[in-house]
Amino acid sequence: MKIGELSERTGIASSRIRFYERLGLLKAVQRKPNGYRTYPPEAVFELELVTAAQDAGFSLDEIATMFPSDMANWQHGPALDTLRQKVLDIEAMEARMARTKAHLVSLVAEIENKPDEMDCNANARRVLTQIRERTIASHAPGAIALHRPGKSRGPR
């Protein structure tokens, strides 16, 4: 089939199909003497794999490591390694997001607990002072270091 038909069958733009081919993600492609690309039915499957992996949050580089150049000789080991690493990445992201959420919920509570007689400007200074004091306390000797959103904690 030609690229237009493949595009129609998969819902993927021809330009994206060519892009995937350049990256080596689409391997089932042949060239006619006139330069036209032709694709066997397996190309639909390959594109569905790429699309499903992208929908699951995988980068194109990760997808390239999961799917070999020859699907007939596919070994599941590299795919499992990539999948397991993605699960670990998601768990780390969930932990960071939970800490960030807790920090934001705490910040909202601090702002909402403004004393009635205090104006918003003074309340902002009060909240910032409390944040600064907590940050200093968390860096004191023997203190348990807490993640502060926006601050680098080294390699991830």
In this predicted model, what pLDDT tens digit does every residue of 20-35 receive, in sequence order? 999 888 887 888 888 8
Over range 135-140, report the average pLDDT.
Answer: 79
Q: What is the pLDDT of residues 102-115, one digit of tens each?
A: 988 988 898 888 88
* Count of domains observed in the chain: 2
Write out the DSSP string of 97-130: HHHHHHHHHHHHHHHHT--TT--HHHHHHHHHHH
> Which residues, including other chains, have CB under 8 Å from residue 68's CB and lie 6 or more apart?
74, 75, 78
Mean of per-residue pLDDT scores for the chain: 84
Task: Please tell me whether residues 59 and 26 are part of one structural domain.
Answer: yes
Task: Please tell me whether residues 66 and 27 are part of one structural domain.
Answer: yes
120 domain-assigned: yes
What 8-state DSSP symbol labels residue 73? G
User: Would the pLDDT of 144 be above 80?
Assistant: no
115 domain-assigned: yes
Q: Which region among 52-56, 80-84, 136-140 has the lowest average model confidence (pLDDT)?
A: 136-140
Task: Please tell me whether residues 54 and 104 are part of one structural domain.
Answer: no
147 domain-assigned: no
- Give me the residues paired with residue 31 across strands: 37
Over range 138-150, report the average pLDDT.
Answer: 58
Task: Please tell me whether residues 57 and 98 are part of one structural domain.
Answer: no
151 domain-assigned: no
pLDDT-derived band at 16, boundaries 50, 70, 90: very high
104 domain-assigned: yes
Nearest 5°: CA angle at 29, between 28 and 31? Answer: 155
Looking up residue 8, the CATH number of its domain turns out to be 1.10.1660.10
Determine the structural domain holding residue 54 and report its residue range. 3-74
Over range 134-155, report the average pLDDT.
Answer: 59
Q: What is the pLDDT of residues 42-81, one digit of tens each?
A: 899 889 989 999 998 899 988 887 776 666 777 788 778 8
Q: What pTM was estimated for this model as a whole? A: 0.60
% of the chain residues with pLDDT over 70: 87
Task: Please tell me whether residues 49 and 106 are part of one structural domain.
Answer: no
148 domain-assigned: no
